[in-house]
Amino acid sequence: MSIVLRRYWIVPLSIALGVYVGLPFLAPVFMHAGWSSAARVIYFIYSWLCHQLPERSYFLFGPKPTYSLTQVQNAWQNTINPVILRQFIGNPEMGWKVAWSDRMVSMFTSLWLFGLLWWPVRRRLKPLPWWGLLLFLLPMVVDGTSHFVSDLAGIGQGFRDGNLWLAVITQHIFQAAFYSGDAWGSFNSLMRLLTGFMFGLGIVWYTYPYLDKAFSPQDQSVVVRAVSDPTREPEKFTV
């Protein structure tokens, strides 16, 4: 591996991650442009990586970025079967669905974004300890697990759909739309956005310093000089 590639490993990694993050957004772009075959290939590929439920996804080229379960049912089928619901990719009136859910968007977009932001400040930022990583991941574990348990009662039927527990705790100080459903601005959508961003920040802050150390060209140069001149004393580096 060349010295340049080892020194700037962030470039190929960010490009690869950027492609991975960007492809789901190309699916609605292709649908809007009339290239439905290319779009459906992307939807199919990412369907193995995400539930793609439309009521928990973003839409492009429509009047709204998100739609409620009822709106999706009226446009598609009156069902709570997730296998059927996930097949809805949109229409010209509502726009076209991004090929993965809002949680996946926040998780991997933040992973890509925080990686780019971490690079210029990496020498001035201490690595995140393992317990710090757990603190960043814990909110998403709690939020995701509670959604999973809630969905066992049926999509739109569980305790996370109405969030009555939260309304009681907050004494209904927010509008009803904040507590109910998954549309943009609701408690559920904000929690998926926030916990996804915390996931990306935690992963980058914890793992990228190890990657930087592993790819550091200094280690390789020390080995080369030691082999070429065994009598030379090791050099000290300040990282």
The residues that bridge with 57 in the sheet, in sequence order, are 101
Q: Where are the domains of the chain?
A: 3-216
Q: What is the mean pLDDT of each run of 10 residues along the chain (239 residues)?
A: 80 96 98 97 96 97 96 95 96 97 97 96 94 98 96 94 96 94 95 97 97 76 46 46
Strand order of the β-sheet with 90-91 is: 57-60, 95-101, 90-91
CA 90, CA 202: separation in Å to the nearest integer? 33
CA 239, CA 237: separation in Å to the nearest integer? 6
CA 131, CA 68: separation in Å to the nearest integer? 37
- Contact call for residues 196 and 106 (beta carbons, < 8 A): yes
Q: What is the pLDDT of residue 238?
A: 43
Integer CA distances (angstroms), 100 to 45, 125, 228, in order: 10, 32, 53
CA 141, CA 133: separation in Å to the nearest integer? 12
In 10 A of CB 228, how many CB atoms? 8
Residues 6+ apart with CB under 8 A from 12: 5
**Residue 168, token pair as written in the block:** 């009681």
pTM: predicted TM-score of the whole model, two decimal places: 0.86
Residues 6+ apart with CB under 8 A from 69: 55, 80, 155, 156, 181, 182
Q: What is the pLDDT of residue 19?
A: 97
